[in-house]
Amino acid sequence: MKIIGAFRLRKVIYRGTGVLTSKVVQESIASILDSLKKANLEEAKQRIQAVMPEVKSDRQRGELLAASGIYSSMAKAKEGTMQTWDAARIERAARSITASQLADEFDMGYAETLLNYAKLTESNRQPAT
C-alpha cells in the first residue's frame, strides 16, 4: 500500500471468476435457448453448467430451471427435438403463470424463459416472406 499525500492507494486484484451481473446471466440464458433452438445439445449443456454457479436471484433460478427443463426434454426426445412443443400452448401456460397473483420472481423468470423459447421456435417455423 502506498501513501500519497493524505490518501492511501491500494492495489485491487480481481479474480478471473467474478459475480455475473443479471444482464450477463440473461444473455447466457438467451445463448442457451439459441443453442437449444439449433438442437446443439452439447453446447447447451456446457453453457448451462457454466452459468449455474453464477445464478444468484430467484428470477435467474427460474430462468435457468426452464432452460434446463427444455434441454432435458430435448435430450430425452428422439433426434434432439421436442416433438410435442406447441409454441401457442406454451405461451398460454406462461401467460397464466405471470397473471397469477401467487406468482413470485422465480415463476416470472420461468415463464419469461418459456415465452422467449416459444418466440424463438415460432420464428424458426414461419416461412420467410
Over residues 16-45, the pLDDT tens digits come to 444 447 788 889 999 999 999 898 999 999
Q: How far apart are CA 37 and CA 81, in angstroms?
A: 9
Whether 23 maps to a domain, the answer reads: yes
pLDDT score of 73 more than 50: yes
Whether 5 maps to a domain, the answer reads: no
pLDDT score of 89 more than 50: yes
Whether 4 maps to a domain, the answer reads: no
Domain holding 105, by residue range, is: 19-125
Question: Phi first, then psi: what are they for 124, rounded to 5°?
Answer: -75, -30
User: Helix, strand, or coil here: 4?
Assistant: strand
Whether 11 maps to a domain, the answer reads: no
From 88, 84, 77, 71, select the one nearest 37 (Cα to Cα).
Answer: 71
Whether 14 maps to a domain, the answer reads: no
Give the count of domains, the chain. Answer: 1
Residue-level pLDDT at 62 = 94
pLDDT score of 100 more than 60: yes
Whether 8 maps to a domain, the answer reads: no
Question: Phi first, then psi: what are they for 8, rounded to 5°?
Answer: -100, 135
pLDDT score of 82 more than 50: yes
Whether 34 maps to a domain, the answer reads: yes
